[in-house]
Amino acid sequence: LISEAVRGEGAILRNLDGEDIMTGVHELGSLAPRDIVAREIDRQMKRRGDRYVHLDTTAIGAREFEERFPAISERLHEFGIRPGVDPIPVVPAAHYMCGGVAVDLHGRTEIEGLFATGEVACTGLHGANRLASNSLLEALVFADRASRVPGPTDVAPTPPLPAGPGDGGPPPDEGVILEHDWDAVRRLMWDYVGLVRTRERLQQARTRLDGIQKWAEDLYRRCPPNADLAELRNIALVGLLLASAASERRESRGLHYLAGQTATDPVPRESWAVWRPGELPHVELRPLPAASVATGGRTDPEDGSRDAST
């Protein structure tokens, strides 16, 4: 991972012909926000057929680069790249989830006694587009706040675990199929639900992810426990929720960039995956409460539904 601070020190993004790719794209050039930079890198790679672009660090110089970024320098040397001298091949990559399980300002979920902090949680702190290094601040602050919540005085006995996966069928021995579907989910999310989205690609992703998720769910319930199968079931479900939430949004906002719909709606809305008794899971867009806009906090739903912000 090449820190954004490298660009902050003067590194320039160039195509393989040495041209500054951010000139004319944003007034800040290579210091533009990460979503704009990532989309332009992606556009350059697709337009030219290149596998990467170059990060030119010669303006920083070898000695200063080594002093300012020792860990990055060590990693680059492992690949035979001289920081401050050689161009560094870079590509966009999925790095951090801004959504997750909805929590309040103390990390509490809607399930009594269950807390969530860090990347798994949706605190509202990042808004629609995370700033660099805010992930660490979020993890520290909300973990500290969660730790200060008084525990119950009377602890009830731990209830028995719910029924797990079935044992009526043979253990899943389709290792090749599981691995294939793992890769399929990764490719679908990157190519169809990635940096630049379209309605058509999102719908295709939903259809294909739904098939993978249902197959994994059926096999999971029929077979003995298997970590790879459980993970496939989980990532397919999360991917399906993300694609469904993105499909409901008729605008571009923050990290969500919908081709042909670059305008932002005047009323900010959050995407929620909702489960209610007797209903199938579905996605809702809810206006962001004024308190949430100001503080990042959320009020608990009043209808008793189970929600997970995505």
Query: Residue 47: what pLDDT?
Result: 93
Tell me which amino acid residue 12 is.
I
Q: Which residue has the higher pLDDT, 269 or 201?
A: 201
Q: Is 34 a catalytic residue?
A: yes
Kindly tell me if the per-residue pLDDT of 276 is higher than 90: no
d(CA 297, CA 97): 18
Mean pLDDT of 98-114: 88
Q: What tens digit of pLDDT does each residue of 137-164 get?
A: 888 999 999 999 987 766 677 776 555 6
For residues 98 and 255, the answer to whether their CB atoms sit within 8 Å is: yes
CATH topology assigned to domain 4-90: Flavocytochrome C3; Chain A, domain 1 (3.90.700)
Instruction: Give the dihedral sign, CA 27/28/33/37.
Output: positive
- CATH number of 171-249: 1.10.1040.10, 1.10.150.120, 1.20.58.100, 3.40.50.300? 1.20.58.100
Query: Residue 223: what pLDDT?
Result: 80
d(CA 252, CA 250): 7
Query: At 101, which helix (H) or strand (E)?
Result: strand 101-102
Query: Residue 170: what pLDDT?
Result: 56
Q: What tens digit of pLDDT does each residue of 30-62 get?
A: 999 888 999 999 999 999 999 999 999 999 999
Domain-by-domain residue ranges, the chain? Answer: 4-90, 96-147+267-310, 171-249
Q: What tens digit of pLDDT does each residue of 78-104 get?
A: 999 999 999 999 999 887 888 888 899
Say which residues have a Cβ less than 8 Å from residue 223's Cβ, sequence separation at least 6. Answer: 165, 166, 167, 169, 170, 171, 172, 229
Beta bridge pairs of residue 45: none
Lowest mean pLDDT among 4-18, 58-72, 275-289: 275-289
Q: Are strands 121-122 and 101-102 parallel, antiparallel or unpaired?
A: parallel
Average pLDDT, the chain: 85
Running DSSP on this structure, what letter comes out for residue 253? B
Kindly tell me if the per-residue pLDDT of 67 is higher than 80: yes
Query: At 89, which helix (H) or strand (E)?
Result: strand 88-90
* Catalytically annotated residue among 7, 34, 75, 199: 34
For residues 251 and 265, the answer to whether their CB atoms sit within 8 Å is: yes
Q: What tens digit of pLDDT does each residue of 158-194 get?
A: 776 555 666 665 555 677 788 899 999 999 999 999 9
**Block residue for tokens 């035979």:** 80
Cα 110 → chain centroid: 22
Query: Residue 6: what pLDDT?
Result: 94
